[in-house]
Amino acid sequence: MSQPITVPPGTKIRLEDFDPAYAGDVEGKKEARKELKANRRALADLGYRLYAESRRALLFVLQGMDTAGKDGTIRHVMRGFNPQSCRVRSFKQPSIEELDHDFLWRISRALPPKGDVGIFNRSHYEDVLVVRVHDLVPKSEWRTRYDRINAFEKLVVHGGTTIVKVFLYVSREEQRERLQARLDNPDKRWKFSRADIKERGYWDEYVRAYEEALTRCNTDCAPWHVVPADRKWYRNLVVSRLLCKTLREMDPQFPPAEEGLEGIVVE
């Protein structure tokens, strides 16, 4: 049975309705990697055209539980883009300066300029996720943020930036295995923190927080995409397909060349 990546806005999203190990109609890793390679070539061309056109931008928002593969997705899918026009921004604990402003201030400053692809590794959604789970701001504050996020994203889209929002859905058991793998491998142990175990204890709270964010901020102009993340090769393939589809629909065009260049010979 097929599993949707998106659901219609206004539909309540329950993560239990999605299988994080789903692999669709893809036969296996070999087939997925072959298509991923082709998609990266397409993304390189489309990204180059977007940069040349310099009229619009693309913002790729990545969210997910710890170990869902945000870094891996960026590394494997986005490598085809020119680093000159593709920028990654991570959002962690806000600085003192950032705390002195509205929660969307630092997000607005990090938006990609026209012609660029911007990648948010975590994003403004942390301000309705971690702050909710850990009670970092009053409920009366974070409850208002869903509507403020929707209004902000609508403004960004109307300004010429297409937003692709992806939630990488990893199962709790797969998370356990990946955390253990980090501990068992000396070369990856640097990625592990005792705080990861503490955060894992809030799994159910994070599920509830994500479900509300995915439901309330799933809009026509900036829909959410729930991507199964237990199988890394499928996760990467789905994201590459999604980005290819988005950029093809944007259909960036090379700007017209200066008139009268046809007969020029450079000596």
* Distant-in-sequence, close-in-space partners of 8: CB < 8 Å, separation ≥ 6: none
Whether 266 is covered by a domain: the verdict is no
Q: How confident is the model at residue 5 (pLDDT cuts 50, 70, 90)?
A: very high
Q: What are phi and psi of 194, to 5 degrees?
A: -60, -25
Whether 263 is covered by a domain: the verdict is no
Whether 10 is covered by a domain: the verdict is no
Q: What is the mean pLDDT of the chain?
A: 95
For position 260, what pLDDT does the model report? 87
Whether 136 is covered by a domain: the verdict is yes
Whether 4 is covered by a domain: the verdict is no
Range of the domain at 21: 15-250
Whether 258 is covered by a domain: the verdict is no
Residue 86 has pLDDT above 70, yes or no: yes
Burial class (CB in 10 A: 0-12, 13-18, 19+), 44: middle
Burial class (CB in 10 A: 0-12, 13-18, 19+), 207: middle
Residue 234 has pLDDT above 70, yes or no: yes
Within 13 Å, how many C-alpha atoms sit on residue 171's CB side? 13
For position 1, what pLDDT does the model report? 55
Burial class (CB in 10 A: 0-12, 13-18, 19+), 9: middle
For position 92, what pLDDT does the model report? 87
Burial class (CB in 10 A: 0-12, 13-18, 19+), 58: buried
Whether 257 is covered by a domain: the verdict is no
**What is the mean predicted confidence (pLDDT) over 44-68?**
97
Distance CA 228, CA 238 (A): 9
Of the candidates 181, 180, 214, 184, which has an alpha carbon nearest to the alpha carbon of residue 197?
180
Report the share of the chain in percent with pLDDT over 70. 100
Which CATH number is 172's domain given? 3.40.50.300
Strand partners for 59: 118, 163
Distance CA 26, CA 4 (A): 15
Whether 2 is covered by a domain: the verdict is no
Query: How many distinct structural domains can be found in the chain?
Result: 1
Sequence-ordered alpha helix ranges (H) in 54-135: 70-77, 96-99, 105-109, 130-133
Amino acid at position 27, single letter? E
| Tokens describing residue 241 | 């397909």
